[in-house]
Every structure is written in structure tokens, then in C-alpha cells.
Structure 1
Amino acid sequence: MKNKGLEQRLSDEILTFLDSRRTLHLSSLDEDGHPYASYAPFALGTECIYVLLSDIAVHGRNLKQNSKAAVLIVEDESQAATIFARIRVNYQVSAQHLQIDSEEYKTGIHQLFKKHGDRIHNLAELSDFNLFKLTPLGGRYVKDFGRAFSIAGNTLTGESIDRLRDGHKPRVSA
């Protein structure tokens, strides 16, 4: 995308949208490489997403075994202008299990606490809960029909945002 002003507006839109959401959908891979869909509360970090997951939960175990995952953060159905084109951001991510004694762990727990309150500190005190940092590897931002954008790079808004122009096409009769 050549228009830096438009790219900055889209970056701001994406961050505002992400900040307005409290949960994400998470697709992780089990030990056989099969996808597993779930959800989790999240908080934003500097160019990353933090999630606090239990070992009891399938997705928590999956991320410890395989760092490849995908997230979807989507507009609430009740707020959508149309159910067929809900605002959403999805990312392919790399998950990193953060060690409890690291500064990044403290930062992630603090971000989650700011977004979700005291429950985070209670959960973080349990030995089966682990903090993961999800780093984007690229993604998409969709804001309506025909208004989809590719997010390239390892940040929440990418190093570049490009409009996808290969839109819907009518079905051809045989």
C-alpha cells in the first residue's frame, strides 16, 4: 500500500479494534497435528498478544508442544451490521511459553490484569497456569465486504498493510 496516511489510519483502526475486544478464538495443533479450536481472554503487549492458559485445557498443552497457532479476534454478533461480514483480525502466530521469573512474564501478567482485573493474579498463582506470548507472523484485517487487508510482518499491524483486490466473483453456469 503506497498511501502512508491510509496505512496509518488502518493501523490505528486495527489497534483500536483489538483493544476493544476481551477474548480471542485460538486454533492450536495437537500432538498429531490436528487443529483444536478454543477461546481465551487476552491482552495486548508491545507487538504481541498475551494469554494465560491452564495445562488442564487442551489448548494450553498444545501450545507447549507446538508453537504454531492461529488467532481470530472478531466483532460481537450483536454489534455487527451484517453477520456475513463481521469486523475481524486474524493472525498466524508463534507461541512462546514465558518463564515465571522473566520480566516479560511480569509485563504480560500486568497487561492481563489491567484488562481483566484481579482474577488474573489468582489464576497466575496456580501452578497449572502458564503465560504465552503470541507473536504475529502475518494476518488479515476484514472490515466489510470487499474491504479486506493483508497484514505482512511480525507486528500487530504489520510492516505493511495491503488491500486484497481478488474479490467475490459470480458463479458461472455450466
Structure 2
Amino acid sequence: MKNKAMEVRLGDELLEFLNTRKTLNLSTLDEDGHPYASYAPFAIANDCIYVLLSDIAIHGVNLKNNNKAAVLIVEDESEAQTIFARIRVNYQVSAEHIAFESGADYDQGIACLFNKQGDRIHNLRQMTDFNLFKLTPLGGRYVKDFGKAFTIAGKTLAGESIEHLRDGHKPRVSAAS
């Protein structure tokens, strides 16, 4: 029972961290399967991540052609106690293009982006080259410090389960020893 309570606290902590961030790093795959790294403003609703991306941007084209991607959301360098252990969460995600014509689904994604990112969202949604994507988590990892890394299992942002990675860093054994 104690482990389940710890998972709930970690899940709440993870969601709180996500709510303090405004941008994410996005890794997509091009038509040849090569990775492409970029960033985008994001928002969260219904245990998914929403981004509004242009067809002019490589990552927007990549997501239209391949729905597999990875997301990294990381603590700002200026806030980190040590640059080597910034708080971060990464997810493997499945991307779904939400068409402008899809009504309520599109409106919900735009509304959550507007609430997080402000008026610019309403301007961008008027451009025909901007597309809404819903990124559904497939699992990931949450790292909050040295020795405090957790596997996130399940298709929710806080995970259906969170397990501590107990096999930590291992010191090198000197050849002279």
C-alpha cells in the first residue's frame, strides 16, 4: 500500500512540474527514419499534450507522415540546483493530427493551448499551415535528481504505474586496483 501512495504522490508531483513548463523538446522522424529535434510550446488536457505546428516547420511535416515521436520537458537551466541533474520527463508518444474541421476535439485542443500560451494561439489557428496535434503518452521516464529516476508505464502523463530505477550509476574500477 505504501508504494501505491508513493506513486500517487510522484504522479501529482510530475503533473505539477508539467504545469510549470511552457515548451517541450520534440523528436520526430523524417521520411527516411532519421531523427529531427526541435521545440514547441505545449498545453495539457485529458492526459495528452497538445501542440500547434506549422507545415513550414520540419517537425510538423514529420508528424503528419509518421505518428511516432518523443517529447522531453526539462527544468530551466537557471532554476536547476545542478546542471547535471535537471528535473525532466520524457515520453514516447503517438501523435494524432486533429483537423480544423473536427469541431469539438479541435476546439478543446486550441482552448487548452490558449489558456496556457495566450492570444498568439488564436492568431496562429487562423493560418491554414498550422495544424493541431494531440500527443498521447505511451510511457516514459521522470528524473528528479541523481538516483531519483522513475519509469512511467501506461498511457497517461502521470503513468498507470511509476517504478523507481534502482540500478544506479556504477563507479569505474581502476585497472591498477
Query: What does the per-residue CA deviation read over 1:2-60, in whole Å, with 9 as the maximum and x for residues that have no partner?
Result: 61211111010000000000000000000000000000000001110000000000000
The 2-side partners of 1:61 and 1:53 are apart by: 9
Matched, 1:169 2:170: yes
- Corresponding residue for 2:35? 35
The 2-side partners of 1:148 and 1:132 are apart by: 28
In the TM superposition, 1:47-86 aligns within 5 A as 47-86=47-86
The 2-side partners of 1:2 and 1:171 are apart by: 35
- Corresponding residue for 1:10? 10
Q: Please give the secondary structure, in 1, of the residue aligned with 2:73.
A: strand
- Corresponding residue for 2:160? 159
Number of equivalences? 174
Query: What does the per-residue CA deviation read over 1:143-174, in whole Å, with 9 as the maximum and x for residues that have no partner?
Result: 00000000000110111000001100011233
- Corresponding residue for 1:109? 110
Moved more, 100-109 or 36-45: 100-109
The 2-side partners of 1:125 and 1:16 are apart by: 31
Residue 171 of structure 1 aligns with an amino acid whose one-letter code is: R
Matched, 1:126 2:131: no
Query: What does the per-residue CA deviation read over 1:98-146, in whole Å, with 9 as the maximum and x for residues that have no partner?
Result: 0112211110000000011110010000000000000000000000000
Percent of aligned pairs with the same residue? 75
CA RMSD of aligned residues (A): 1.0
The 2-side partners of 1:43 and 1:143 are apart by: 21
Q: TM-score, normalised by structure 1?
A: 0.98
Q: Please give the secondary structure, in 1, of the residue aligned with 2:166.
A: coil
Residue 67 of structure 2 aligns with an amino acid whose one-letter code is: S
The 2-side partners of 1:39 and 1:85 are apart by: 20
Unaligned runs of 5+ in 1: none
- Corresponding residue for 1:95? 95
Query: What does the per-residue CA deviation read over 1:63-88, in whole Å, with 9 as the maximum and x for residues that have no partner?
Result: 00000000000000000000000000
Moved more, 95-104 or 21-30: 95-104
